[in-house]
Chains A and B, each alone.
Chain A
Amino acid sequence: MSKLSGWDDTIVALATAQGVSAIGVIRVSGPDAINIINQLFPSKDLSKQASHTIHVGMLKNDHEALDEVVVSLFKNPKSFTGEDVIELGCHGSPFIQEKIMQAITQKGARMAKPGEFTQRAFLNGKLDLTQAEAVADLIASNTEASRKTALTNIRGGFSSVLSELREQLIKFSALIELELDFSQEDVEFADRTLLRENISLLQGQCSKLLQSFILGNVIKQGVKVAIIGKPNAGKSTLLNTLLNENRAIVSDIAGTTRDTIEEIINIKGILFRLIDTAGIREHTTDVIEKMGVEKSYDKMKEADVVLYLFDRKDTPAAELEMLEEKLSGTKMKYLLVANKADLNSAEYMDYKTIQPIINISAKAKNNIEELIHKLFVLGVNQDIEKDAVIVTNARHYQSLERLSKALGEVQEGMNNNIPGDLLALDIKEALQHLGEITGEITSEDQLDFIFSKFCIGK
């Protein structure tokens, strides 16, 4: 099986480094590059624009606004790859970039493999030897970087689910091959019912992984954190402290209405949307409302994590304990954060809470790391553990999508009772797509399975 793809299609990838940055550049190259971006860029007809021009406008997928972008247009052959190339300057959020690339692949482009732009540049005679040397080093370091990125992208059980999927697919394909190359051997061939069950199991695992990408809230929308507390608790100071360190530049995400102000921070690559619940009335008799909860109750319900901030110095134990009772009654995840912990600990009040209290000082930036760590653990880890596996990488997603399609064709073929060697054609495609994530799967892998499990040979 080929380890490299052909080069008559259109490819897309992030041209800048992965991760959060101020801006990012997404590069699209291939015969359909202009046509594809034209479908997402209603402001102008790019096919009618001159090469080497720049255009600003909103990128939209159907009616959903994705981001305001700068489009740089390079028509073949005067481009990096020698093909039609479009470079999109967008905001630096990984979330937005993934969304844009998803839209582009939906319109027919394919995620590029590491170094594939360079490969095309080479094939179109765009590189001289000096450039080639520089680019070669870049591929080597990029490959290493993307290997590392891939590793960090693989969270939770993704890697073990994938290797399980790989094992299963090798087994399935080997059982089909067994009937072909070893039909004359005295071995028991798997019956079709079993093979059909196997393939729907594989299909199930695959669509679960795909679902995790589509529905993976954490990745798609970030973790919503509602910061509540009385006005004097120091919410805005805390917000600013958090933002100073971790602010993420993102644009408005279309489709989500926001009537409260939202700030976004990035913790270890995950976006945390801090929902500011300012505007709480000062004078009220209701103790809950007095604590700044009622108005933000709806917001609270939407939030994944509630961060209750209070002043350790003047919050009575009964008040805090009562609030915790309310919070734990809602089954929401919450953090109790005591601010102004820079003061003498002798002045601390004594609380009997279920959750341990995190002592910080927003102003002196004391213990903020711990708060961030707790926030991450609460907001991310548990969710990911609960859903077991989340696909975060658009390239992986696309490979899985194609794997699923190929598996669908295998299933259809089995339903039509087509001969095993023809089934194997679709299986081969499935193996190739999974191989794009897990490393190549060869006929030697299948033979190894057969020889280890079956007594072959006269």
Chain B
Amino acid sequence: MFSEYDVIVAGAGHAGCEAAAAAANMGSKVLLITMNMQTIAQMSCNPAMGGIAKGQIVREIDALGGYSGIVSDASTIQFRMLNRSKGPAMWSPRTQNDLMLFSAKWREMLENTPNVDFYQDMVTGLIIKDHKVHGVKTSLGHQIYAKAVVITSGTFLNGVIHIGEKRMGGGRVAEKAATGITEQLIENGFESARLKTGTPPRVDGRSLNYAVMEEQKGDAEIVGFSYMDTPKIKAADQRSCFISYTNPTVHDILKTGFDRSPMFQGRIEGRGPRYCPSIEDKINRFADRDRHQIFVEPQGWNTVEIYVNGFSTSLPEDVQVKALKMIPGFENCKIFRPGYAIEYDYFPPTQLKYNLETKELANLFFAGQINGTTGYEEAACQGLMAGMNAHLKVNGQEPFVLQRSEAYIGVLIDDLISKGTDEPYRMFTSRAEYRTLLRQDNADIRLTERSYNLGFAKEERLKKVHQKIANVEQIKNILNTTVVEPADINPYLEQLDSATISDRQKAGKLILRPSVDLKGLKQHLPKLNESLDFDADSLEQAEIQVKYERYIEKEKELVDKMSQLENLIIPDNFNYDKLSAISTEALQKFKKIKPHTLGQASRISGVNPSDVQILMVYMGR
């Protein structure tokens, strides 16, 4: 019934969809298998994309040619650029999305991608021969052959849902769990463990009283995620979110459910994320706080369903409802779906290579929650990288690996592979040591050409980047040659409370002042304004490059220093047992993780500089 595919993707969430799109766009014949065609690209948790560090990842996905940015832009109901008051490396785009539109747009884009076939079935096993994967087995009894398989199982592998004392198998509420794959992989030498995550109740927006809540509006300007010219909604049409707070009464009611809580009663064994605690965890651990923030987030344009952000819980449903009703604005609240916790299998990611292929079985790739991450963006970018690398592998090409200095995606994958994780891994900007270089405004400059060279990003994208780079050079040149007369600019400087100038100065120098910006200069210097007739994106890019040059250069120097280690590649078959002089812990870690470069070896936790030196010495020349 099925002919052989190049790549099979098992799972159609954020990771699976990106994986299928990437491999297909590069030319692979792809089969995307999902347990339910109606739930492709579900936003299983909050109806939002991006945010701090995550927004940067979506921009990177877009720059490489992935779909998440375009889909998010198409389904945006509210846009905000977070951290605007901070340096440009912190600016982080975030959208609230219509989750049904999000899902529909994904499906539409995939259906319009040549080379992607779909099939609704559950993958129950792999076809394995000679330490190599050759395809999948399904619950309907098919054996479908492929040169590579990407597994993006999300929370579905042996998923168990907890609501109070109720416990049921499932990958999401009302959806079946997937079985078989974990057991087979363990037989083949894999190590597996459990993680936990949770989600809040969804309620009826018609039952809420918004008058007593704070309104949170979208930005006046909608920037979006995609570097392509995606259609944007009008700023005035954006939907607002609302903020309310819990109080001691809410907390007291929640506490009455603690004796039926699966978390406190030890029925949940998997570890949850510290930065996404359930409401019961918050009041338990931070007992001195008498209130916690609750975000009321609409789930779309044409639905009254509300996502109660901040109220993730696995307490019994009656307790959830009782407690919710004590939150200001929620007095008459009607619940659509209760919050719940879910436990699922993951495979500690130190079992992967940099191309996200497993070390144990060739041509098998993992992406998303199966690798211990959390978040749509984290999943999507891994899917994209796994899809690209699956295509490259079946075509006998070199893996595509991003360095920590090139992309958040590089940081994420390197962290996973070198350090592993025992809680759901989420990206933070502080994880990126070169975050001044990894900005949301320059992901296209960093990444598009590399993707284009591998046959993924389309020429149209590359042309746009080249145009931007050329514009930026021109703008910088104009800024550094335009001489500003004191009389022309001093009124503006006075207005800003910035020291006036007595001698003529270059415009590029004035921009270095913290309070001075290009927009202001253009407003007050008509001649400069005339010569700087460029698009907003290029102007912003040039301004950032000039204004923050000192910091950017400083980080580039650090990258150069580190690159010497990154370029020293440890042979695949290196025999670590001959390293008699190093510490036992380092030896064990080296043997397990098999670092690809000395740079990676130096980042493994528990490895000392002397261990790396000894390794280096033994590598010989």
Contact = CB atoms under 8 A, between A and B. Distances in A.
Nearest to B285: A455
Contacts of B119: none
Interface string A118-137: 11001101011100110111
Interface string B280-320: 00100110010011010000000000000110100000000
B273 interface: yes
Contacts of B610: 114-115, 139-140, 143
A426 B53 CA distance: 20
B617 A455 contact: no
Given A2-B602, A421-B86, A455-B282, A180 B52 contact: yes
B551 A422 contact: yes
B82 interface: yes
Nearest to A177: B430
Given A2-B602, A129-B620, A425 B614 contact: no
Contacts of B561: 2, 5-6
Nearest to B293: A186
A446 B428 CA distance: 11
A363 B514 CA distance: 77
Nearest to B548: A422
Interface string B549-580: 00100110010111011000000000000011
Contacts of B621: 122, 125, 127
Nearest to B565: A4
A1 interface: yes
Nearest to B245: A186
A456 interface: yes
Nearest to B558: A2
B86 A136 contact: no
A446 B430 contact: yes
Best-surrounded residue of B289, B561, B579, B616 (most CB of chain A within 10 A): B616
B467 interface: no
Best-surrounded residue of A417, A419, A421 (most CB of chain B within 10 A): A421
Interface string A164-177: 00000000000001
A254 B579 CA distance: 47
Given A180-B52, A421-B429, A456 B274 contact: yes
Interface in B268-286: 273-277, 282, 285-286
A114 B620 CA distance: 19
Contacts of B602: 2-4
B90 interface: yes
Given A180-B90, A183-B82, A455-B286, A139 B613 contact: yes
B89 interface: yes
Contacts of B455: none
Nearest to B243: A186
Contacts, number: 154
Interface residues of A, number: 54
Contacts of A140: 581-582, 610, 614
Interface residues of B, number: 61
B176 to A, nearest CB: 28
Contact of B617 (A122, A420, A451, A457): A122
B502 interface: no
A443 B90 contact: no
B85 interface: yes
Interface string A1-18: 111111100000000000
A137 B514 contact: no
B613 A184 contact: no
B579 A136 contact: yes
A458 interface: yes
A4 B276 CA distance: 34
B87 A457 contact: no
Contact of A180 (B275, B430, B579, B617): B430
Nearest to A455: B286
A4 B564 CA distance: 10
Interface in B27-55: 46, 51-53
B201 to A, nearest CB: 14
A125 B619 CA distance: 11
Interface string A396-435: 0000000000000000000011111110110010000000
B618 interface: yes
Nearest to A451: B274
A180 B292 contact: no
A180 B82 CA distance: 10
A184 B274 contact: no
Given A132-B617, A139-B617, A180 B612 contact: no
A421 B435 contact: yes
B83 interface: yes
A181 B581 contact: no
B234 interface: no
Contacts of A446: 430
Contacts of B562: 2, 6
Contacts of A290: none
Nearest to B610: A143
Given A127-B617, A181-B428, A418-B514, A455 B51 contact: no
A122 B621 CA distance: 8
B143 to A, nearest CB: 43
The 5 closest A-B pairs by CB, nearest first: A6-B561, A140-B581, A186-B293, A419-B87, A421-B87
Given A455-B286, A457-B276, 11 more contacts: A3-B608, A115-B610, A139-B613, A180-B83, A180-B429, A183-B82, A419-B85, A422-B436, A428-B433, A451-B275, A457-B282
Interface of A: 1-7, 113-116, 118-119, 122-123, 125, 127-129, 132-133, 135-137, 139-140, 143, 177, 179-186, 416-422, 424-425, 428, 443, 446-447, 451, 455-458
Interface of B: 46, 51-53, 82-83, 85-87, 89-90, 273-277, 282, 285-286, 289, 292-293, 295, 309-310, 312, 428-431, 433, 435-436, 514, 548, 551, 554-555, 558, 560-562, 564-565, 579-582, 602-603, 608-610, 612-614, 616-618, 620-621
